[in-house]
Amino acid sequence: MTSTFPRYSRIAGTGSYLPPRRLSNAELAAELAARGIETSDEWIVERTGIRARHFAAPDVGSSDLGVAAARQALEAAGCSASDIDLIIVATSTPDMVFPSTAALVQQKLGVHGCPAFDVQAVCSGFVYALTVADSMIRAGSARRALVIGAEVFSRILDFNDRTTCVLFGDGAGAVVLEASETPGVVATELHADGRHVGILCVPGHVSGGQVLGDPLLKMDGQAVFKLAVGVLEEVARSVLGKAGRGAEEIDWLIPHQANIRIMQGTARKLKLPMGKVIVTVDQHGNTSAASIPLALDHGVRSGRIARGDTLMLEGVGGGFTWGAVLLDF
Ligand code: UT7
């Protein structure tokens, strides 16, 4: 008996959006100096590779950034919002406690009825959302999905903590993922380890009409760094194994854009030259769930990533969460 379900999902188009307000390291350092916080362009570049980040205006939410990225992805895919039958937004900085940012995106795109929900896996969020969309398409529950990573991390930064506030920025990236008889997404793998909840978190919560606890980001950078380098190699090898492919078959590694040194470490372990790694962390800092689709779209629009290329997308972040998606573009 032949299955009526599609064998694969494939990326039909990509898009991204960065809010216009761009702060170089020097500009941010000057703003922080006015608060008595000392940092420098030299420290930030040397330790992270970040040169600038974008901050959204106060009245702009993750849904707005996500919609802008989604419109680009729809155009690149040659379809309209009404062709979409599933919307998933990966975000840890939703516009509201509820409804979901995905429901707000749906409303702003002017389409109604299709399922729309958020995935919360912090910096691994896009890899989680892509995996869920791929599974739903292959199960026959959707044919064309909008998968978005969108964040306004500037809202949860403690600008009195130089160890974190220089690292993050705002932005969004999106893909249209559609049913296909040819690959497409080849293999995926997701992980979480709740033992490490405390090393990267925003511990506050809303209760009785008030924010209780600390609503700003806390990170043990060194602990995150150490875990990240280990799990990113492990999950890449595992996904390659599932697909029966070798690391040398990867045309482009598109890792979470948090720190150039983590990306260099992962590439070294996989014996990939840095020329095969898409790096955009210098331009926008760590945009959490938005960073992988931002880097992907940048690689596509700059002409480096071509149709047929094999891509390894890798996320890692709070939870502790991590995962990878291997796909033929
Ligand atoms: O998105 C989820 C994934 N997140 C990540 O992947 C982040 C992973 N971690 C990292 O990227 C790095 O650990 C950081 C970039 C956060 C920190 O780099 P590091 O090389 O681990 O620096 P460190 O924490 O060991 O700090 C070294 C020094 C310290 O001074 P002392 O104690 O040596 O005198 C810090 O106080 O650098 C100091 N420092 C700074 N100096 C200037 C920390 N932040 C700053 C700063 N400017 N912004």
The ranges assigned to domains in the chain are: 8-180, 185-328
* Residue having the nearest C-alpha atom to atom 29 of ligand 1: 163
In ligand 1, which atom is closest to the CA atom of 163? 44
* Residue having the nearest C-alpha atom to atom 16 of ligand 1: 221
Hey, do 8-180 and 185-328 end up sharing a CATH topology, with the first three levels equal? Answer: yes
- What phi and psi, each to the nearest 5 degrees, are found at residue 39? -155, 180
CATH class of 185-328: alpha beta
In ligand 1, which atom is closest to the CA atom of 224? 8
**Cα 165 to ligand 1 centroid, rounded to whole Å:** 11
Q: What distance in Å separates the CA atoms of residue 75 and residue 267, rounded to the nearest whole number?
A: 32
Residue-wise pLDDT tens digits, 287-305 = 999 999 999 999 999 999 9
110 DSSP 8-state letter: T
Cα–Cα–Cα angle for 43, 44, 48, rounded to 5 degrees: 120
Q: What pLDDT, on a 0 to 100 scale, did the predictor assign at position 1? A: 52
- Comparing C-alpha atoms, which of 279, 224, 219, 282 is closest to residue 254? 279
Cα–Cα–Cα angle for 160, 166, 172, rounded to 5 degrees: 120
Residue-wise pLDDT tens digits, 100-148 = 999 999 999 999 999 999 999 999 999 999 999 999 999 999 999 999 9
In angstroms and rounded to an integer, the radius of gyration of the C-alpha atoms of the chain is 19
SS3 137: helix
Max Cα distance, the chain (Å): 70
Q: What pLDDT, on a 0 to 100 scale, did the predictor assign at position 108? A: 98
Q: What pLDDT, on a 0 to 100 scale, did the predictor assign at position 157? A: 98
- Comparing C-alpha atoms, which of 147, 131, 151, 148 is closest to residue 139? 131
Q: What tokens does 283 get? A: 């331009």
CATH architecture for the domain at 8-180: 3-Layer(aba) Sandwich (3.40)
Q: What pLDDT, on a 0 to 100 scale, did the predictor assign at position 143? A: 97
* Residue having the nearest C-alpha atom to atom 8 of ligand 1: 225
Could you confirm whether 123 is annotated as catalytic?
A: yes
Q: What pLDDT, on a 0 to 100 scale, did the predictor assign at position 3? A: 63
Q: What distance in Å separates the CA atoms of residue 306 and residue 296, rounded to the nearest whole number?
A: 11
Q: What pLDDT, on a 0 to 100 scale, did the predictor assign at position 238? A: 98
Q: What distance in Å separates the CA atoms of residue 109 and residue 90, rounded to the nearest whole number?
A: 17
* Residue having the nearest C-alpha atom to atom 30 of ligand 1: 163
**Cα 307 to ligand 1 centroid, rounded to whole Å:** 38
Q: What pLDDT, on a 0 to 100 scale, did the predictor assign at position 104? A: 98
Could you confirm whether 79 is annotated as catalytic?
A: no
320 DSSP 8-state letter: T
**Is the CB of residue 225 below 6 angstroms from any atom belonging to ligand 1?**
yes
- In order along the chain (329 residues), what is the average pLDDT of each group of 10 residues? 81 98 98 97 98 98 98 98 98 98 98 98 98 98 98 98 98 98 97 98 96 97 96 98 98 98 97 98 98 98 98 98 98
